[in-house]
Structure 1
Amino acid sequence: MDWAHTITPEIPVATILQQCTLENLPQLSEDVYSVDHISADGSTANAECMWGVFEVECRPVRNGVRYALTSCPNAFQWTITSRHGETVVHGSINQMSPDPEFAESIEEFLRHFCSGLEQPPHPPTA
């Protein structure tokens, strides 16, 4: 199943690449409580979120970034991309008919993430 949110005007790709990092994930989403054990290249870590603790990765993709909870049994991933005047936040899991409460929690997570993206950029943490 998948979900999508659109943000207009679009967030520049350079801003997405700068702000959408594992280190910034808790500032982007109130549903991510902490991120630790970030790899030297910044691409993998452990994240504590509304569903538990998972291995998470963050990789650049064309026009944006993809996050994936790689140890999640539902294979939850979300992608942030900008083009044609809009930014799309697209999330998906590996089930076509998830439990309605779980589906709503994903919708809520993505809404909160979009709200975080629309805030002024956070300065890099030291």
Structure 2
Amino acid sequence: MEFFATAQARLGAEQLQHELTGQRLPELCESIDQVLHWDAALDTGEIYCLWGQFKVNRECTRDGVRFTLPGCPNALAWTVTAAADGTLVHCTINRSEHEPDFIESIEEFVADWAQGLQRL
């Protein structure tokens, strides 16, 4: 499944890569409560979020940043990308269907990202 939101914030790829660091995740997204630890050299760490505690990886992409939760049973990943009309948040899971409560929580997560980006 895919989920999208566009933040009304014109942020370039370099700015996204500079601003969207592991340590800043709770500041950027209200659905992420805490960074438990972060290894800047490996760009990986562990977070506590609305779904529980997960390892998270950060990767710079051509036009932004991608985060993955490799231990997540739904293989949740999200990408924040510079776009012509703002900043795109794109989130995916490896299921074509899921329970409505979980889908609603992902929609909230994506909306929280859009709001956080607009504060930058």
TM-score (normalised: structure 2): 0.93
- Greater relative contact order structure (CA < 8 Å, 6+ sep): 2
Q: Deviations over 1:49-85 (max 9, x none)?
A: 0000000011101110001111100000000011334
RMSD over aligned Cα, in angstroms?
A: 1.3
Aligned residues of 1:21 and 1:42 also touching (Cα < 8 A): no
Tell me which stretches of 4 or more aligned residues in structure 1 moved more than 2 Å: 7-10, 83-86
Query: How many residues are paired up?
Result: 120
**Structure 2 unmatched runs, 5+:** none
Q: Whole-Å Cα distance in 2 between the matches of residues 81 and 102 of structure 1? A: 24
**Structure 1 unmatched runs, 5+:** 121-126
TM-score (normalised: structure 1): 0.89
Q: 1:100 to 1:60 in 2, by over 3 A?
A: same
1:86 Cα deviation (Å)?
2.8
Is 1:5 the equivalent of 2:16? no
Aligned to 1:72: 72
Q: Secondary structure at the match of 2:75?
A: coil
